Amino acid sequence: MLDSRAALDFAILSGFPIVATNWDEDSFLTGLLPDGVERIGGTNTEPDVESILSFNPDMLVVGSGWFDHYREHGLLNFDMAPTFVVAQGDPTSRWREVMTQQLHSIGRGNEASQVLLQYEQQLDASRRQIGSLLDGKKVAIGGAWQGEYWLQGDTFCTSVAEDLGMTLVRDTSTPPRDGNWFYSAETISVFNDADLIIMQNIDAPEVEAPTWQRIPAVTAGHVAELTYDNNNGLALTAIDFAKSLADSAQLLR
């Protein structure tokens, strides 16, 4: 597994015989791996080719986003082994459709039905946990890094949040780019509409900016973390993210 999100999510669902994977110590998916799975050296952004080849893989599995990234930047030569590219949807809010199609294509249609049923059951449980906390409230899902802020608009995360019944903050002034709207510290007023913010890179230096600190949800302490492992994936990740969103809503008590 060359990435620890969509590729690993799909491989676990598919029952692929995983021998090694890119590793995220904080990912819930790591806890679902069978004993004996080893860690590939390097990182998502700097893959270690020698480490990958040392496992003599019969097949590489990688999410479509990382596959495109590695090819565009010349980081990996996929001629080294047959490669299974896990579809994530374009936009990634289409994850259910593409996951179901791809599982059916390899004879795992039953697994698709079962995990989507588990997802619906988790949505019901999360809705019960949230109760009326979000009635009349808006949620922003975003992040910050390297001087830039973004608001998610049409992504894996927004699809799960909307499946839960959350009302999301949106920027109606312009279409999102790659599923997101992007801002500088001087143009983040869109977050003022949020009662709750789900934030990737919650400890990034950008959160110290005075304009960010003045956002009402930030002032009220209504900012929850969007972890790396929940930011993208397929059904297993969606189940875990639905749990996380219900926990995050408790900040509004």
- Decide if 98 is inside a domain: no
| Spatial separation of the C-alpha atoms in residues 161 and 132, rounded to whole Å | 15
The string of pLDDT tens digits covering residues 125-159 is: 999 999 999 999 999 999 999 999 999 999 999 99
The string of pLDDT tens digits covering residues 171-223 is: 999 999 999 999 999 999 999 999 999 999 999 999 999 999 999 999 999 99
Are residue 53 and residue 151 in the same domain, yes or no?
Answer: no
- Decide if 177 is inside a domain: yes
- DSSP E strands: which ranges in 6-147? 20-21, 38-39, 60-63, 83-86, 139-145
| Spatial separation of the C-alpha atoms in residues 41 and 20, rounded to whole Å | 10
- Decide if 91 is inside a domain: no
pLDDT recorded at residue 99:
98
Where residue 24 falls among pLDDT bands split at 50, 70, 90?
confident
Domain holding 143, by residue range, is 116-252
The string of pLDDT tens digits covering residues 62-92 is: 999 999 999 999 999 999 999 999 999 999 9
Single out the residue in 37, 70, 86 at which a domain terminates.
86
- Decide if 75 is inside a domain: yes
* pTM, 2 dp: 0.96
Single out the residue in 71, 86, 101 at which a domain terminates.
86
Are residue 222 and residue 124 in the same domain, yes or no?
Answer: yes
Are residue 147 and residue 187 in the same domain, yes or no?
Answer: yes
